[in-house]
Amino acid sequence: MDGKNLPIIALDFPDGEKAWDFLSRFDGEQLYIKVGMELYYREGAELLKSLKEKGHWIFLDLKLHDIPNTVQRAMKVLAGLSVDMVNVHAAGGTEMMKAALYGLEEGTKAGKTRPTLIAVTQLTSTSEEQMQREQLIDRSIDESVLHYALLARESGLDGVVCSAYEASSIAKEAGSGFLRVTPGIRMSESKSDDQKRIVTPSDAREMGSSLIVIGRPVTQAADPVFSYKKVLTEWER
Ligand SMILES: O=C(O)c1cc(=O)[nH]c(=O)n1[C@@H]1O[C@H](COP(=O)(O)O)[C@@H](O)[C@H]1O
């Protein structure tokens, strides 16, 4: 399997020591890793550099959401961190998403590949009822996610973060090359935690997700390597 199609492990740990302790169990295997706010705010760019030196692929998940100028300038900086994928919130709007892409292109050095840029639509921890009540969106969650996906597509982004429930309609409307990155992955026996729209790895594949992101069912497992291999086998099958 191409490294860029591997299940993405959300490395949600409070510090580098715990993150490296987890990774040491994988015996030099190259992984696709998501570094989120918790770990990045603690360890910064040095950690990303070390992960790259070990040959891992990196999704830097900072979910930028600010005025276009700020996002553009921040993306220009992130482009210099040698990561493979970054993200923004689609709720920031098309002007912000275009600015993000522009900043990322500006910051990508000649001869280097621009990191993939995706937009979060509705968080997988959001239910339809909560979205309607708190965001005052009087539509189904599928419609809201698809709408954000089409805005992201129009802004030139490479894909979106969505649950598997919306993946096939996005592929149909935005094209199969437009990425559908799906967190909220659970094995049938694991608890859902704070996630609302969850599926198993094989369901995600059958429902049209292009990539999956999984955290706690692997990172908190008694045997993380065994749990990861189970996810990998289900995803690849
Ligand atoms: O952008 C993300 O990665 C993300 C978007 C989303 O809608 N839902 C979501 O869970 N995530 C991230 O995916 C990971 C899921 O972790 P687990 O719920 O532990 O599997 C977390 O690091 C979240 O920050």
Structural domain for 214, as ranges: 3-236
Residue indicated by tokens 């309609």: 169
What pTM was estimated for this model as a whole? 0.97
Compute the distance between CA of residue 85 and CA of residue 5 in angstroms, rounded to an integer.
12
Q: What is the pLDDT of residues 46-94, one digit of tens each?
A: 999 999 999 999 999 999 999 999 999 999 999 999 999 999 999 999 9
pLDDT above 70 coverage of the chain, percent: 99
Mutate to test the pocket of ligand 1, among 39, 61, 200 (most ligand atoms within 8 A of CB): 61
Which H or E element spans position 120?
strand 116-120
Q: Nearest residue CA, atom 12 of ligand 1?
A: 183
Nearby residues of 68 by Cβ (< 8 Å), 6 or more positions away: 92, 95, 96, 98, 99
ipTM of the predicted assembly exceeds 0.95: yes
- pLDDT at residue 1 greater than cutoff 70: no
Binding residue positions for substrate = 12, 34, 61-70, 124, 186, 195, 215-216
The helix, strand and coil proportions of the chain, stated in percent and rounded to the nearest 5, come to: 50, 15, 35
Active-site position among 18, 52, 54, 63: 63
Tokens of 218: 């692997």
Q: Write out pLDDT tens, residues 166-196.
A: 999 999 999 999 999 999 999 988 889 999 9
The size of the chain, in residues, is: 237
In whole angstroms, how far apart are CA 47 and each of 19, 55, 58, 74, 81?
10, 13, 11, 18, 10
Structure tokens, 107: 């910051």
The CATH number linked to 59 is 3.20.20.70
Which letter, b or e, does each residue of 110-139 get, where b requires 16 or more Cβ atoms within 10 Å of its Cβ? Answer: eeeeebbbbbbbbbbebebeebeeeeeeee
Cβ < 6 Å from ligand 1: which residues? 10, 12, 34, 36, 61, 63, 87, 120, 123-124, 161, 183-184, 193, 195, 213-216
Q: What confidence tier does 4 reach under pLDDT thresholds 50, 70, 90?
A: confident
* pLDDT digit string, tens, across residues 203-222: 999 999 999 999 999 999 99
If we measure between CA atoms, which residue out of 62, 168, 36 comes closest to residue 119? 62
Structural domains counted in the chain:
1
CA 175 to chain centre: 19
Our answer to whether residue 49 is catalytic in this structure is no
Q: pLDDT value at position 3?
A: 76
Distance (angstroms) between ligand 1 centre and the Cα of 220 equals 14
What average pLDDT does the segment 222-232 reach?
97
Atom of ligand 1 nearest to the CA of 220: 19
